Chains A and B, each alone.
Chain A
Amino acid sequence: MESGVFHSSYQADMGLRPTPLMRIRLIVVLVAAVVFPFFANNYQLTLANQILIASIGAIGLNILTGFTGQISLGQGGFMAIGAYSSALLVINLGVPWWLSVLLACVITAIVGGFFGLPSLRLKGLYLAIATLAAQQIIEWGIIRSPLTGGVEALVVDPPLLFGINLSRDFNFYWLGLILLIGTVLFAVNLFRTKVGRAFIAIRDQDIAAEVMGVNVFRYKLLAFATSSFFVGLSGALLAQYRTIVSFDRFTIETSITYLAIIIIGGLGSVSGSIYGAIFMTLLPAVLTNIGSALENTIPQMAGLIPFVRKAVFGLTIILFLIFEPEGLAKIWRDIKDYFRLWPFSY
């Protein structure tokens, strides 16, 4: 039972994991995450790694869109900045991979902050269009620049740590897991202190925030930069994991997929970002598997799978927008609330 929990000091009251049940749940999840790779096959590990990378990117986007209320269609472009920065730093300057990842985050944060400048004047859909322009500019820059190899893919040497190849599925998993945990802790802490609160205030009521002393424009730029830092991290990790970087992984379609992740997972929810990433990574995989299972009985199926995938994808987003705009995070909360009072829930 979670009811009747009181805290005797403000410090305990402000703690991250306030109830014993939550602590147990967290430990279970962590243990499962640690045990998982020892039982998983390579295919499952690949999916898990995709989820880890997508979760970091989704938390990044959620910081900007879900928490601060600034819709961004530039996610794909910002991920590209992270991926290309990391790869090019390694290829051209011989920077160690880990340093290239860190620098890629910083570079993406700066680029993201720059493309946040239109938020001074633009809100809502107009800002979304401005970030779409950012997406197009970045894509165009990558295709045209002599530095990036244009439409040809860049190939990076596998990242090594004490001789261990981190781009191998099993090895990368640990790197991804540690960085995701770090990202989650950072985001959760951020939103219970000054800056994160100001972000949420801007989303809820920007004029009141300004009148209460928040320099709204500065904080919007800060939200763009902070968000882009993690989006850049997910792009850089993708580059190091795949050891191949090509622009077609970072198009407007990527931006829309990430918006879908945070809508389905839950806008303004850190854990929701992860639920959304899991959902959107597994959905196509499950559909593909179902498709190939049916291939023998219904031969036409093979050709239809891509269309079915797109349709299910679109339908899911629409259904979530209509029936559960607060996403999976809300559904999970409702389930918990139901069982908290169980058997007296009705």
Chain B
Amino acid sequence: MSRGFSHVLNSSPLQPGDTQLIVNNVSLSFGGVKALHEVSLKVQQSEIAAIIGPNGAGKTSLLNCISGLYHPQVGEIRYRNGKEHILTSLKPYQIAKLGVARSFQNIELFKHMSVLDNLMLGRHVHLKSSVFSGGLFWGRAQREEIAHRKFIEDIIDLLEIEAIRKQQVGTLSYGLQKRVELGRALALQPSMLILDEPMAGMNAEEKEDIARFILDINEEHGVTIIIIEHDMGVVMDISDHVIVLDFGSVIGDGTPDEVQRNPQVIAAYLGESKHG
């Protein structure tokens, strides 16, 4: 049983429905490979936006542009967080400070750290202590650790990972690691949460848990979520907004119903299944 979340999880100042993220005409290529081609889209506050598309369509590349890991040759990405920021000219750590938190397709946890420390690292941008106050662990640094530990314990409750909080992350099962990675992103107190295939490689039951957490985070706390997911059942179930990428281009953008009826999307998916 959860004892309820006592902190504010969502750090976005926007109202539900406000435009939060604007991807404007973004093109990205690696040498000859066009990963993204004139991609434009918008994401609104408090929606769950799913990005779908065949393997190699450019989904992860798009997320990497949003979090500042890739730099598109053309176009820009704007983010509203009270003020408007141009993400495409910021560094990843600066984007994190705006509250854009994410998980990775291939788990990228800090393997040798405990679950608690991984989550505490998620609090990095909110912590103030320096080398000196940290090394001397006097006053503020200690009070700060305790205060933020409370936030982390709320997330641990929310994700139901109480039993493993002190374990070293590298020793956990794949499914639990995925869950810890979600927790680390939540620890940032996100204004937008980006999840790259958070359910990949999971069985039906594990998927259901993660879907429940995602809905909880979105509905209870109002956090905007961008999710890449291959399981169409899950996508159509949980998302408000679906964006379809194919060969780096947006070929569908709308509600789950609209997208399912889009002939181009149907063709792309049929094409994929034909090729196996």
Contact = CB atoms under 8 A, between A and B. Distances in A.
Interface in B72-111: 91-93, 95-97, 101-102, 104, 108-111
Contacts, number: 114
Given A186-B135, A197-B120, A214-B93, A204 B146 contact: no
Q: Chain B CB within 10 Å — which of A11, A208, A211, A214 has the most? A: A211
Interface in A207-233: 207-216, 222, 226
A198 interface: yes
Contacts of A14: 142, 145-146, 149
Contacts of B153: 10
B117 A197 contact: yes
Interface in B137-164: 137, 141-142, 144-146, 149-150, 153
B113 A201 contact: yes
Contact of B110 (A187, A192, A200): A200
A197 B96 CA distance: 17
B13 interface: no
A216 B93 contact: yes
Contact of A200 (B91, B112, B127, B128): B112
B131 A222 contact: yes
Interface string B109-129: 111110001001110110111
Nearest to B117: A197
Contacts of B144: 194
A236 to B, nearest CB: 19
A21 B135 CA distance: 25
B44 interface: no
A213 B96 contact: yes
B134 A193 contact: yes
Contacts of B122: 212
B108 A193 contact: no
Interface residues of B, number: 44
Given A197-B120, A211-B92, A189 B135 contact: yes
A14 B146 CA distance: 8
Given A210-B92, A211-B69, A194 B134 contact: yes
A212 B111 contact: no
B136 A186 contact: yes
A211 B149 contact: no
Given A209-B121, A213-B188, A204 B113 contact: yes
A195 interface: yes
Interface in A169-217: 186-187, 189-190, 192-198, 200-201, 203-205, 207-216
How big is the A interface, by class? 20 to 34
A210 B141 contact: no
Given A207-B108, A211-B69, A226-B131, A193 B113 contact: no
A198 B124 contact: yes
Please indicate which of the listed interface residues A193, A198, A200, A215 has the most CB atoms of chain B within 10 Å of its own CB: A193
Nearest to B124: A213
A14 B111 CA distance: 20
A82 interface: no
B130 interface: yes
Contacts of A192: 137, 145
A222 to B, nearest CB: 6
Contacts of B68: 211
B184 interface: yes
B96 A196 contact: no
B93 A210 contact: yes
B141 A211 contact: no
A35 to B, nearest CB: 28
A222 B124 CA distance: 15
A211 to B, nearest CB: 5
B149 to A, nearest CB: 5
A195 B146 contact: no
A190 B134 contact: yes
B120 A190 contact: no
Interface of B: 67-69, 91-93, 95-97, 101-102, 104, 108-113, 117, 120-122, 124-125, 127-131, 133-137, 141-142, 144-146, 149-150, 153, 184, 188
28 contacts: A10-B153, A14-B142, A14-B145, A189-B135, A189-B141, A193-B133, A193-B134, A193-B137, A194-B128, A194-B141, A195-B129, A195-B131, A196-B134, A198-B124, A200-B112, A200-B117, A201-B121, A203-B112, A204-B112, A210-B91, A210-B96, A211-B67, A211-B95, A212-B122, A213-B97, A214-B124, A215-B91, A216-B93
Interface of A: 10-11, 14, 186-187, 189-190, 192-198, 200-201, 203-205, 207-216, 222, 226, 268
Given A197-B113, A201-B121, 15 more contacts: A10-B149, A190-B134, A193-B129, A193-B137, A194-B124, A195-B131, A197-B121, A197-B124, A200-B110, A205-B110, A211-B67, A211-B68, A212-B125, A216-B93, A222-B131
Kindly list the 5 A-B residue pairs having the minimum CB-CB distance in the complex, ordered from nearest: A213-B96, A193-B134, A189-B137, A213-B125, A204-B110
